[in-house]
Structure 1
Amino acid sequence: MIVVEGKEDTAAIRRAVEADTIETGGSAIGEAVLKRIELAQERRGVIVLTDPDSPGERIRKIVAERVPACKHAFLLKDEARGKDGIGVEHASDEAIIRALERVRGGVPSPAEGAGAAPEIEWSDLLGAGLIVHASASRRRERMGELLGIGYANGKQFFKRCVSFRITRQEFLHALEQLEREGI
């Protein structure tokens, strides 16, 4: 099941892939919708694919707090940009498929190493210029694209690195690319 914001997002998903969706009805996500997402996670699994904007991130955060085992897919802002805004409904079929291919897992189960120490530390973000740096915001945006975890502020970016179990190797590879691009 793919969690999206509205009907137009559902149409875009169904145009790109064969999948069922749960629509949140926007950022005022209600208890009934959250219960449906919990049930869907228990029975089928859930992927959250919201707009790459502030309301979309708010929905993602609400769902992730309530259903921590859900998975996340992220569209790049440029892939979701339309003439009247940014949203899943504006993304091409190919962009949606790419986002779903790069899906990231939520909270790991004990068998997957839930108690394992994270590979990325706050100091890694500092050293990479992803926080407390003149270009930190742009660098985080591009790193989020390269890692497939979307854009976030420094604190949220760190949380995503930990919760999506970004490996040191993935992080360093993305950082090398970032440096090659001169960002």
Structure 2
Amino acid sequence: MDKIKEVIVVEGKDDTKQVQRAVLADTFETNGSALSKKALEQIKKLQQSRGVIVFTDPDFNGERLRKLIDQNVPGVKHAFIRRDQGVPTEAHGSLGVEHASSATILAALQNVYTTTHVLTPTFSNQDLIKAGLAGSPVAKRRRERLGELLGIGYGNAKQLLKRLDLFAIDRPTFERAVAQLDQEGKTHE
């Protein structure tokens, strides 16, 4: 079993249980979508001493927590699962890390990103339009798949532009992923 040196920030106890089935790791639970100043201070201390990986649910509240932590704790790493990888087996459950398989969790933790705050954006809306990621009937589906390929999660066009820069995705990596999207599109036609 892989040992993770950083502390993994998750939303709740069930997330901790599932992560610890997949890897040897310490977790910090935010206990839901509310994040107190005290909890943020604790995450800052953990980042300074051991490093932190933010591994929140692929839903609105998880993304809100991720942004809040990223804005207040410089240098944290991010791990993502796709929405379909966090779907509960029972109809009444909520979307989350606690429903992901051990293999999915391990893969997410092996492909973490550290955010960078870029002054000059690398990508523009024109890049997204040219790549079929904005302004086309299949743009949403292509953005979902691009997020999977790059391991940065799903976002609308505006969010995708931010994430490409935030996670320092370079143009060759972006172009390879778009080429793979194009290739996959041809095989589905």
Does the pair score TM above 0.5? yes
Distance in 1 of aligned mates of 2:149 and 2:95: 20
Q: Which residue of 2 aligns with 1:98?
A: 107
Q: What's the CA shift for 1:145? A: 0.4
Do 1:146 and 1:174's aligned partners in 2 also have CA atoms closer than 8 Å? yes
Instruction: Give the alignment partner of residue 180 of structure 2, picking from 169, 177, 182.
Output: 177
Asked if 1:144 is matched to 2:147, the reply is yes
In 2: Cα distance, 1:85 partner to 1:26 partner: 12
Where in structure 2 are there 5+ consecutive unaligned residues? 1-6
Unmatched segments (≥5 aa) in structure 1: 109-113
1:125 paired with 2:131, answer no
Q: TM-score, normalised by structure 2?
A: 0.87
1:112-161 Cα deviation digits (max 9, x unpaired): xx66x554333211211212222222111110000000001211111110
d(CA) in 2 for partners of 1:20, 1:177: 36
Counting matched residue pairs gives 177
Partners of 1:72 and 1:103 within 8 A in 2: yes
Distance in 2 between residues matched to 1:66 and 1:153, nearest whole Å: 23
Query: SS at 2:81's partner residue?
Result: coil
Identity of aligned residues (%): 49
Distance 1:120 1:65 in 2: 21
Deviations 1:145-181 (CA, angstroms, capped at 9, x unpaired):
0000000121111111001110111111111111112
State the secondary structure of the residue aligned to 2:9.
Answer: strand
Q: TM-score with structure 1 length normalisation?
A: 0.90
1:88 pairs with one of 97, 120, 131: 97
- In the alignment, is the contact (CA less than 8 A) between 1:49 and 1:74 conserved in 2? yes
Cα deviation 1:9-51 (Å, max 9, x = unaligned): 0111111111111111111111111111111111111111111
What is the root-mean-square deviation in Å for CA atoms of aligned residues?
1.6
Is the contact made by 1:79 and 1:95 (CA closer than 8 Å) also made in structure 2? yes
Match of 2:72 in 1: 66
- Tell me the distance in 2 between the aligned counterparts of 1:41 and 1:153: 29
- In the alignment, is the contact (CA less than 8 A) between 1:46 and 1:70 conserved in 2? yes
